[in-house]
Amino acid sequence: MTSIDTRNLCRALRACSTRTMRYLCESDGWRVLTMEEGAFHHGDDPIEEDKAAQEKFEQYVNEYQHTEGDLRIVSILGEEAIKEVPRLQPNERLIVLDPLDGSKTWAACRTNFCVALLALNADDTGLPSLEIAMITTPLHVFTFFPPNQLFIGALGQTSDNDTLLSSVVPEAAGQLYAPANTPFLALNAYKTREREALVAIADALPGWHIITTAGNPATPYVVAGGLTAALTLRAQTNWDAVGVLMAASTDAVVRQANDGAIVKGPGFSERFNQVLIDGNAYVVPPMIVAKSRERSDEIYEAVKKSKIFESEPSLL
């Protein structure tokens, strides 16, 4: 049972994330990446809208606190606000934010992106621990309360109408644009050095339909939608792996892609109590999230056949 104080924080973060998402949906900042015919996108171009979204979120939090009361948020840092982690006093809060996760697909087609955040609260000794994790997509809001409560709700609605997700939605019989019983894999391969791995993994998964996006915009839909599995090929910060944390609270199969180890419980979720904004920030290894052990095994065997972690050890 969450406290009234935590529910108030959740209401505030949901409102600010929703406003940030609407700003991103209406923004035309993607035009700066419009390319000439025949140009090749290397996947590493800076997206200035990330910074604008960070500023908007901070503005919305300040406005909320001005009208609704102090939320004891000391700092908002993360992907677009690399700064020193403050020393927290008891009951003070820290927000770790990725205001535009999936910036490449947002720039290319205005889809498969999200606002992702972790809210940490300091105990009586000042030690922070995760209080809320949230992913806001153009359609849904996923809210996680430790240790194992994951909810889904429609964007723009209050949490009163949210649904508890404790089990994955079974595999669909088929999709409109694929044959029946076709499994779907979300695989992020927009970085140049991941593209060869995508080809090798696809070759090892005949019959699978592969969507070249993954991470927080996709992973929760392994639990809540028709996505069969999601795969990340590089080590991640904890704010990049919020969707993995959420899936690990359900009966989805979550494992490390580099060695196949199944992850569950406090040992994994403890990584999300850390706030590291430096070269040691990549606390989550490459991960596989799947609806079932059978599907997870298929993905893991394909990853091994690709030898991606032998040829690219820097991904670990």
Mean pLDDT of 232-256: 93
If asked whether residues 283 and 152 sit together in one domain, one would say no
Only one residue has tokens 């993995």, namely 244
Q: Is the pLDDT of residue 308 over 70?
A: yes
Closest CA relative to residue 272, chosen from 135, 147, 126:
147
CATH code where residue 219 lies: 3.40.190.80
Q: Is residue 133 part of a domain?
A: yes
Which has more pLDDT, 54 or 172?
A: 54
Q: Is residue 170 part of a domain?
A: no
Q: Is residue 283 part of a domain?
A: yes
Closest CA relative to residue 173, chosen from 124, 108, 226, 134:
226
Which has more pLDDT, 277 or 21?
A: 21
Which strand (E) or helix (H) includes residue 201? helix 195-203
If asked whether residues 100 and 64 sit together in one domain, one would say yes
168 neighbors 250 (Cβ within 8 angstroms):
yes
If asked whether residues 18 and 127 sit together in one domain, one would say yes
If asked whether residues 155 and 36 sit together in one domain, one would say yes
Q: If you count them, how many residues does the chain have?
A: 316
Q: Is the pLDDT of residue 44 over 50?
A: no
If asked whether residues 281 and 147 sit together in one domain, one would say no
Quick one: CA dihedral 42, 192, 245, 273, positive or negative? negative
Q: State the Cα–Cα distance between residues 309 and 182, nearest whole angstrom.
A: 27
If asked whether residues 152 and 234 sit together in one domain, one would say no
Last residue of a domain, one of 135, 164, 193: 164
Last residue of a domain, one of 130, 164, 198: 164
Last residue of a domain, one of 132, 164, 196: 164
CATH code where residue 150 lies: 3.30.540.10
* Mean pLDDT score of the chain: 85
Q: Is residue 177 part of a domain?
A: no
Q: Is residue 197 part of a domain?
A: yes
If asked whether residues 232 and 274 sit together in one domain, one would say yes
Closest CA relative to residue 106, chosen from 60, 142, 138:
138
Q: Is the pLDDT of residue 292 over 90?
A: yes
Which has more pLDDT, 45 or 104?
A: 104
Most confident option among 29-43, 47-61, 293-307: 293-307
Q: State the Cα–Cα distance between residues 289 and 57, nearest whole angstrom.
A: 29
- 94: β partners: 75, 120
Q: State the Cα–Cα distance between residues 163 and 4, nearest whole angstrom.
A: 19
- 149: β partners: 145
If asked whether residues 129 and 13 sit together in one domain, one would say yes
**Residue 3: per-residue pLDDT:** 80
pLDDT level of residue 108 (50, 70, 90 thresholds): confident
pLDDT level of residue 190 (50, 70, 90 thresholds): low
Where residue 261 falls (left for φ over 0; alpha for ψ -120 to 50; beta otherwise) is beta
If asked whether residues 8 and 142 sit together in one domain, one would say yes
Q: What is the DSSP letter of 109?
A: H
If asked whether residues 192 and 155 sit together in one domain, one would say no
**Residue 315: per-residue pLDDT:** 56
**Distances from the Cα of 223 to the Cα of 108, 169, 314, angstroms:** 26, 6, 29
Mean pLDDT of 121-130: 92
**Residue 33: per-residue pLDDT:** 57
**Residue 32: per-residue pLDDT:** 59
- Give the domain extent around 78: 4-164
**Residue 17: per-residue pLDDT:** 97
Q: Is residue 173 part of a domain?
A: no
If asked whether residues 149 and 201 sit together in one domain, one would say no
If asked whether residues 198 and 131 sit together in one domain, one would say no
Is residue 84 packed enough to be buried (19+ CB in 10 Å), middle (13-18) or exposed (0-12)? exposed
**Residue 191: per-residue pLDDT:** 65
Beta carbons within 8 Å of 157's beta carbon, 6+ residues apart: none
In total, how many domains does the chain have? 2
pLDDT level of residue 37 (50, 70, 90 thresholds): low
Lowest mean pLDDT among 229-233, 250-254, 258-262, 265-269: 265-269
Q: What is the pLDDT of residues 132-166, one digit of tens each?
A: 999 999 999 999 999 989 999 999 998 889 999 98
Q: Is residue 175 part of a domain?
A: no
Q: Is residue 21 part of a domain?
A: yes
